[in-house]
């Protein structure tokens, strides 16, 4: 079912919100670039904390793709999140994000009509929670989500 349009501020920017149309079991996909991979103290590769932070813009949240919208559009989610450029990605479920005090919202753009945002506090504790909640969706070989 299509999602209702999100609330906007006077500048037309999407306001942080928790969208009731995004179900608890719905997948929330976060793309991970090779640029966001670092080495830990043992030389093993893992995702940098930068991948689990909000962007710095207005009403800033963490960009995601809403899996249910991709499926409803008749597209393959793994193909969708690796197009037009290949990146890895991790997956959460909306309900578990909400249980960790995040808001999961809808923020479509002309380039990405399945785009969503995760809003909340992105302190160390929350970043660790995000890592623990994430599973590889499109795996970057040899890269761990959680630090050893």
Q: Which is nearer to another protein, 70 or 81 (CB)?
A: 81
Could you tell me if 31 and 81 are in contact, meaning their C-beta atoms sit under 8 angstroms apart?
A: yes
Tokens of 121: 């506090």
- Supply the minimum distance, in Å, between the C-beta of residue 121 and another protein: 12
Minimum Å gap between C-beta 56 and another protein is 4
Distance CA 87, CA 84 (A): 9
Measured distance CA(144)–CA(48) in Å, rounded: 10
Closest separation in Å from C-beta 63 to another protein: 4
Looking at the Cβ atoms of 1 and 41, the one nearer to another protein is: 41
Q: Check residue 114 and report its DSSP letter.
A: T
Question: CA–CA separation, 70 vs 82, rounded Å?
Answer: 13
Q: Which is nearer to another protein, 49 or 100 (CB)?
A: 49
Query: C-beta of 18: minimal distance to another protein in Å?
Result: 20
- Looking at the Cβ atoms of 17 and 31, the one nearer to another protein is 31
Yes or no: say if 66 and 106 are a contact pair by the CB < 8 Å rule: yes
Summarize as ranges the residues that interact with another protein (CB under 8 A).
31, 33, 35-36, 38-41, 48-50, 53, 55-57, 63, 81, 84-85, 87, 89, 109, 111-112, 115, 123-125, 128, 147
SS3 state at 23: coil
């Amino acid at each position: 079912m299509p999602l209702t349009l999100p609330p906007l501020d006077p500048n037309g920017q999407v306001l942080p919100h928790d969208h009731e149309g995004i179900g608890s079991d719905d997948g929330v996909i976060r793309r991970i670039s090779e640029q966001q991979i670092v080495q830990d103290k043992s030389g093993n590769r893992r995702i940098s904390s930068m991948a689990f932070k909000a962007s710095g813009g207005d009403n800033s949240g963490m960009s995601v793709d809403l899996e249910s919208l991709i499926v409803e559009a008749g597209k393959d989610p793994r193909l969708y999140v690796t197009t037009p450029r290949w990146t890895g990605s991790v997956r959460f479920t909306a309900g578990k994000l909400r249980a960790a005090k995040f808001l999961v919202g809808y923020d479509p753009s002309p380039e990405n009509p399945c785009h969503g945002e995760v809003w909340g506090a992105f302190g160390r504790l929350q970043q660790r929670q995000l890592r623990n909640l994430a599973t590889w969706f499109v795996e970057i070989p040899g890269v761990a989500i959680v630090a050893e």
